[in-house]
Amino acid sequence: MLKSALVPQSTPITALFSFSKPFLHGNNHGFRQIQSSSSHKKGPNERVGSAAAVNNIKAIATSKRTLIDNVTAVITVKSNSSLKDEIDESFLFGKSFSLELVSTKLDHKTGSEKTTKPSHAIRVGNDKEGNYLYESKFNVPFDFGEVGAIYVENEHRIEMYLKDIALKSESRNDDHGVKITCNSWLQPKEENTPKRIFFANKVTTPDGLKRFRRQELRHLQGDGRGVRQLSDRIYDYDVYNDLGNPEKDPKLKRPVLGGKEYPYPRRCRTGRPRSELGDENRADDIYVPRDEAFSDIKLAAFDSKKTYSFVSTLPTLIETKFDGDKKFEYFAEIDELFDEDGFSIPPNLNESIWNIIPRWIRKIKETGEQYLQFETPEALHRDKFFWFRDEEFARQTLAGLNPCSIQLITELPRDSSITEEIIEKEIAGNITVAQVRHIEDEDEAVKTTLYGSRTIFFLNPDETLRPLAIELTRPPMDGKPLWRKVYTPSWNSTDSWLWRLAKAHVLAHDAGYHQLVSHW
């Protein structure tokens, strides 16, 4: 039986209609030190110096040797261009990493944590990916227990990105050990940052690690005091009270987001001083915990994307500047951006524009004229009309900007104009709604967008999606009543274009929803 589902009207909805099943949008081996249990009591008829006695002596010697185990730790440090000189210099002066092994066991006599086992790492080379490898040796008593965590201090002058630490016991004959995944920036010891501890991947926290876990969590949570540095890892939160700039102009005063009056996701607290008007002073650098910050490669990608986005607007800006209200009149003009001739630039355009053109846009000069030529997108290169097609629209539901809001239908909403008859017509009699085990439903909030969208997809037996219907909804506004209409694929010329425009609405909603909801 289909039950009702009341839905708010702003979320761009992407729904999935399943054919047969819903569409769904390491083992760490701790090592223990083993004590040999070999023992032998001399029999009454056994003579000293006999073969049995000699074997007994060997067994006792083996037992004594296993009282201490040799453990090797290998640290993998991710390489980057700024590290080489620093690591070479540190190697000359003996600077490296200090490590301490932490046991999962408590001392059975005192009930407190076992004393950590310290050592010092030395650089031993590089791995196949060019990352730097450091190695450390430990002498560990047999009763130390499993290694559950490791303290690490960075003696270099700059921060290092630790990928992982692999521990191996010499007494074991197999390849098992403990691999501790770090994936974290380690700040220099001289900056007086708290000593870092990295934990092995355990489902539960052993008794010997509970106090260390609590200390780490307290540090990450912060106490609401102090000014955050870019190297910090603290995750305490605050309201958005730095959106305006009333010190410069009272008109630039902005409300505080994140309080009771304007609920909103919180931002990371910075501790920056307040202005006389109560707003937090703005800063060029936005604090996020160090491990959450974008890598240099990611930042470079953002910079190039910003440049590319700006350059992508150049044709329109140029046309507007030199040809009044000129705009793209038909799709062929867009195609001209990617063809062999490129886009003609007026001769009176300032030559300085070429200083911001990235390398993937070629400047062409022929007979004194200048052109811009954009690189053809891969999808457009394969299929000039790919963006028309339902297959591409369905693909972008998962591979596009917003793959987070697709969900399985369990009941058709009462406030929707999408009916079982519409769905069954698009399925073309392959199956009825009553026979489908799962139906997907999407909600939208009222009075927040011009059109709210709700989309139904069918999950084909070959695991591809096929759009069945799109419902566009306009909430009551300006004295006009609620409006809603359902669009379906069509071969009719007018209806076909209406279907394409409906898909464009859905993709636009997805972009907005991603930025305002999913991104948070």
Residue 237 lies in a domain: no
Order of strands across the sheet that contains 369-373: 343-345, 369-373, 362-366
Strand spans (E) along 223-361: 237-238, 267-268, 343-345
Amino acid at 406: I
Q: Which of 434, 484, 480, 428 lies closest to 454 in space, CA to CA?
A: 484
Query: Which two tokens mark 479?
Result: 């004295």
Asked whether residue 209 falls in the same domain as residue 70, the answer is: yes
Residue 266 lies in a domain: no
pLDDT tens by residue, 394-423: 988 888 888 878 888 777 777 778 777 777
Contact 159/293 with Cβ under 8 angstroms? no
**CA 60 centroid distance within chain:** 54
Look at residue 435 and tell me whether its pLDDT is greater than 80: no
How large is the angle between the packed helices 390-399 and 493-513, nearest 10 degrees?
Answer: 10
Asked whether residue 321 falls in the same domain as residue 436, the answer is: no
Asked whether residue 419 falls in the same domain as residue 368, the answer is: no
**Residue finishing a domain among 221, 241, 272:** 221
Q: Which of 16, 11, 63 lies closest to 36 in space, CA to CA?
A: 63
- CA dihedral sign, ordered 15, 21, 22, 25: negative
- CA dihedral sign, ordered 183, 188, 189, 193: negative
* Residues 182, 169: Cα–Cα separation, whole Å: 20
Asked whether residue 410 falls in the same domain as residue 360, the answer is: no
Asked whether residue 419 falls in the same domain as residue 513, the answer is: yes
**Would you say the pTM of this structure is higher than 0.75?**
no
Q: How confident is the model at residue 479 (pLDDT cuts 50, 70, 90)?
A: confident
Range from 6-15, 40-49, 337-346, 376-385 that averages highest in pLDDT: 376-385
- CA dihedral sign, ordered 453, 456, 459, 465: negative
Look at residue 66 and tell me whether its pLDDT is greater than 80: no
Asked whether residue 367 falls in the same domain as residue 414, the answer is: no
Helix (H) or strand (E) holding 309: helix 296-312
Helix (H) or strand (E) holding 221: helix 210-221
pLDDT at res. 315: 57
* Residues 211, 216: Cα–Cα separation, whole Å: 9
Give CA separation, 156 vs 94, 137, 370, 427, in Å. 10, 20, 52, 64
**Residue finishing a domain among 346, 379, 412:** 379
pLDDT at res. 431: 56
| Window from 73-77, 91-95, 220-224, 468-472 with minimum mean pLDDT | 91-95
Residue 260 lies in a domain: no
**Residue finishing a domain among 379, 395, 415:** 379
Residue 55 lies in a domain: yes
pLDDT tens by residue, 240-295: 988 888 888 888 888 889 888 888 888 899 998 888 777 887 777 788 999 988 87
Look at residue 25 and tell me whether its pLDDT is greater than 60: no
| Cβ partners under 8 Å of residue 125, min gap 6 | 132, 133
Domain range for 332? 297-379
Residue 148 lies in a domain: yes
Q: How confident is the model at residue 500 (pLDDT cuts 50, 70, 90)?
A: very high
Asked whether residue 369 falls in the same domain as residue 458, the answer is: no
pLDDT at res. 15: 43
The count of structural domains within the chain is 3
Residue 145 lies in a domain: yes
Give CA separation, 352 vs 348, 349, 360, in Å. 11, 9, 18
Q: What angle do CA 490, 495, 498 make, to 5 degrees?
A: 115
Residue 168 lies in a domain: yes
Asked whether residue 345 falls in the same domain as residue 429, the answer is: no
Look at residue 72 and tell me whether its pLDDT is greater than 90: yes
Ramachandran sector of residue 145 (left: φ over 0; alpha: ψ -120 to 50; beta: rest): left
Asked whether residue 354 falls in the same domain as residue 443, the answer is: no
> Phi and psi for 150 in degrees, rounded to 5?
-145, 130
**CA 33 centroid distance within chain:** 38
pLDDT at res. 327: 64
Asked whether residue 93 falls in the same domain as residue 171, the answer is: yes
Q: How confident is the model at residue 43 (pLDDT cuts 50, 70, 90)?
A: very low
Asked whether residue 358 falls in the same domain as residue 408, the answer is: no
Contact 432/424 with Cβ under 8 angstroms? yes
- The mean pLDDT value for 4-10 works out to 35
Which is higher by pLDDT, 432 or 17?
432
- The mean pLDDT value for 59-65 works out to 41
pLDDT tens by residue, 104-123: 999 888 999 999 999 999 99
Residue 197 lies in a domain: yes
CATH code at position 96: 2.60.60.20
Amino acid at 407: Q
Q: Which of 16, 14, 22 lies closest to 457 in space, CA to CA?
A: 16
CATH code at position 476: 3.10.450
Asked whether residue 72 falls in the same domain as residue 186, the answer is: yes
